[in-house]
């Protein structure tokens, strides 16, 4: 039976009515009407498209993407639908597919600003910031009044470390659209990068005035409050975010760091497991058929694989748990990065040591190293803090002892009858410029060698560089280079570094892997700590329960290294005088 002749007119009338309802904000009624149309004609291209757009408008990207795909199946030559599908796929974190959809839109309509904007977001998420910036710039050249383009462009400029430009881009967006919550939140992010937490807080609060349910703004407000040393308030902000979205990964992560900083270990370790859902870390998650062990079943007679994660310093800090695992009756296989392998051969509690990337032996269960504190329900009082738990090779130690003795004898400013204090220096962490989040941490934790200059004329001290990486080059061309002995070209791995450190009286280091090495070797180490401290150093203390012979020198305010260096110089002067007196 043929359809009634009046049906097309009826559908057109219904479509016009649904579109009017959608324009006027009656979204529930509009959705019902679109669905009625699609019951009558399942392949109605306009109803599919507009329903898809409405679903995106109401925060349902999965359903929206499904409707938009149906619309494209009816008529694939719709650039706006391809662009909207790219928007939906970005929201679903399916960024490769989003890029394909945006490119299809642009193949049909090359000068399509919205598609270029969605393409830029996909490229940014795929860690292609230069391509993303070019896409946003093309969009804005076509449509300078596109506020979303300016706001999104700011995010990429932050990824590229261009924080002032990011702030300008946000201000462009807000000049066009003053009540734009995303732009206010992005502006707060740029201000945070510029170490202006008070101004950042104001921007986040403006975003939340406009959109009280804005999860990211609550999360970002918490970060600003951490920078302002307002951690209880930060936890409240994170709680607001999680009440709105209990699965907000970054908020769980930031909450974990805050709780651990505050010494609230029980909840902090549990929240720290959310790291595996983070975009930057989840790619490194190990998927094994064998079960994950988090202290929830007996290990007696089982073989467990402990595997390193994140940085070298993290491995040095948490490998100490291997002995505790072995004491539960397990055979322990430890997988670790090559630069640590020789050093970790001295670690108690390891039955088999495997270099990362090599074939693994059979095992019954596994645990990432940084989940071991959770598995053992670690509280401050139960931290396994006995040191040393790593040792330098005796033959290498003797070689370095002779080398250092020759260095001291050769130094003209040290009298032959006085034994100087031997101090190692590390002024910068590893440069991780390819990851925006880590680049910001590196910028805050690291110094230049120039900053150490006030220490170098402390009497009766012989300084040794323990600095590796790009920052080591700062020593070569510096006026004070002759004040620091540099044998770092002989340090091929951490076992070599351990042999050097074993011969020193003290290591002065920023928060990097060498500080953990010194702590694990039971060497005195002074750690120069940024104001927004890493969680492991906790708050408002000069010691740490992780390393008995470590001393923390904390920034009193964000970015204030001058006060830290002054305090270190005073302490070093006193230590040198005491050491010289004992030597005499």
State pLDDT tens for residues 235-249: 999 999 999 999 999
Confidence at 420, pLDDT banded by 50, 70, 90: very high
Confidence at 417, pLDDT banded by 50, 70, 90: low
Between the alpha carbon of residue 452 and those of residues 265, 465, 475, 532, 572, the distances in Å are: 35, 11, 11, 21, 12
Can you tell me the distance from the alpha carbon of 118 to that of 52, in angstroms, rounded to the nearest whole number?
A: 16
Mean pLDDT, the chain, integer: 92
Can you tell me the distance from the alpha carbon of 34 to that of 17, in angstroms, rounded to the nearest whole number?
A: 10
Can you tell me the distance from the alpha carbon of 400 to that of 501, in angstroms, rounded to the nearest whole number?
A: 9
Q: At 375, is the secondary structure helix, strand, or coil?
A: helix
Q: What is the mean pLDDT of residues 168-177?
A: 98
Question: Where do the DSSP E strands lie in 427-541?
Answer: 461-465, 484-485, 506-510, 525-529
- Residue 136, pLDDT score: 98
Confidence at 583, pLDDT banded by 50, 70, 90: low
Can you tell me the distance from the alpha carbon of 502 to that of 394, in angstroms, rounded to the nearest whole number?
A: 10
**Domains recognised in the chain with CATH numbers:** 303-382 (3.40.50), 394-583 (3.40.50.2000)
Can you tell me the distance from the alpha carbon of 63 to that of 508, in angstroms, rounded to the nearest whole number?
A: 56
Q: Which pTM does this prediction carry?
A: 0.89
Can you tell me the distance from the alpha carbon of 64 to that of 47, in angstroms, rounded to the nearest whole number?
A: 12
Query: pLDDT of 3-59, one tens digit each?
Result: 454 677 777 777 788 778 778 877 788 777 778 777 777 887 878 887 788 888 888
Can you tell me the distance from the alpha carbon of 96 to that of 109, in angstroms, rounded to the nearest whole number?
A: 20
Q: Between vectors from CA 398 to CA 472 and to CA 338, what angle results, nearest 5°?
A: 50
Q: For residue 374, how many C-alpha atoms fall within 13 Å in the half-sphere facing its CB?
A: 19
Q: For residue 580, how many C-alpha atoms fall within 13 Å in the half-sphere facing its CB?
A: 17
Confidence at 581, pLDDT banded by 50, 70, 90: low
Between the alpha carbon of residue 329 and those of residues 131, 152, 283, 324, 336, the distances in Å are: 53, 54, 32, 9, 22
Q: At 72, is the secondary structure helix, strand, or coil?
A: helix
Hey, how many other C-beta atoms are within 10 angstroms of the C-beta on 556? 10
């Amino acid at each position: 039976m043929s359809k009634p002749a009046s049906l097309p007119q009826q559908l057109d009338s219904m479509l016009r009515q649904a579109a009017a309802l959608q324009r006027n904000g009656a979204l529930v009624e509009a959705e019902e009407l679109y669905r009625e149309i699609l019951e009558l004609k399942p392949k109605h291209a306009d109803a599919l498209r507009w329903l898809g757009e409405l679903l995106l408008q109401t925060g349902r990207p999965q359903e929206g993407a499904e409707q938009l795909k149906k619309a494209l199946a009816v008529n694939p030559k719709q650039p706006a639908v391809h662009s909207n599908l790219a928007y939906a796929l970005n929201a679903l974190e399916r960024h490769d597919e989003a890029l394909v959809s945006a490119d299809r839109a642009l193949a049909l309509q090359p000068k399509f600003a919205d598609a270029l904007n969605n393409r830029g977001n996909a490229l940014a998420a795929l860690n292609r910031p230069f391509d993303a910036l070019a896409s946003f710039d093309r969009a804005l050249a076509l449509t300078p009044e596109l506020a979303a383009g300016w706001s999104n462009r700011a995010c990429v400029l932050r990824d590229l470390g261009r924080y002032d430009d990011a702030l300008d881009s946000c201000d462009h967006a807000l000049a066009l659209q003053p009540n734009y919550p995303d732009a206010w939140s992005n502006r707060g992010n740029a201000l945070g990068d510029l170490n202006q937490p008070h101004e950042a807080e104001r921007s986040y609060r403006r975003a939340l005035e406009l959109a009280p349910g804005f999860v990211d703004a609550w999360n970002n407000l918490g970060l600003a409050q951490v920078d302002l040393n307002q951690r209880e308030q930060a936890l409240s902000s994170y709680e607001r975010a999680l009440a709105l979205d209990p699965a907000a990964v970054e908020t769980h992560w930031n909450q974990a760091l805050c709780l651990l900083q505050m010494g609230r270990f029980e909840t902090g370790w549990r929240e720290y497991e959310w790291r595996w859902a983070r975009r930057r870390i989840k790619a490194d998650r190990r998927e094994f058929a064998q079960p994950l062990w988090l202290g929830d079943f007996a290990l007696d007679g089982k073989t467990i694989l402990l595997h390193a994660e994140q940085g070298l310093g993290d491995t040095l800090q948490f490998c100490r748990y291997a002995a505790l695992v072995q004491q539960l009756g397990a055979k322990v296989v430890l997988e670790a990065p090559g630069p640590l392998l020789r050093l970790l051969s001295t670690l108690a509690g390891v039955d088999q040591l495997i270099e990362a990337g090599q074939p693994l032996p059979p095992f019954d269960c596994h645990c990432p190293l940084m989940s071991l504190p959770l598995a053992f329900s670690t509280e401050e009082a139960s931290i396994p803090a006995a040191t040393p738990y790593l040792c330098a090779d005796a033959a290498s130690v003797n070689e370095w002892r002779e080398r250092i003795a020759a260095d001291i004898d050769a130094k003209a400013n040290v009298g032959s009858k006085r034994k100087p204090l031997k101090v190692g220096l590390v002024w910068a962490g590893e440069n991780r410029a390819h990851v925006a989040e880590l680049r910001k941490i590196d910028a805050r934790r690291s110094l230049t060698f120039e900053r150490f200059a006030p220490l170098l004329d402390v009497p009766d001290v012989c300084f040794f560089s323990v600095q590796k990486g790009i920052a080591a080059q700062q020593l070569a061309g510096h006026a004070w280079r002759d004040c620091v002995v540099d044998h770092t070209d002989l340090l091929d791995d951490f076992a070599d570094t351990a042999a050097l450190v074993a011969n020193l009286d003290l290591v002065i280091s920023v928060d990097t892997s060498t500080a953990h090495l010194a702590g694990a070797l039971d060497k005195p180490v002074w750690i120069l700590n940024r104001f927004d401290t890493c969680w492991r150093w906790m708050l408002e203390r000069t010691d740490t329960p992780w390393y008995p012979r470590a001393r923390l020198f904390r920034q009193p305010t964000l970015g204030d290294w001058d006060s830290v260096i002054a305090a270190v110089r005073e302490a070093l002067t006193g230590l040198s005088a005491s050491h010289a007196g004992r030597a005499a």
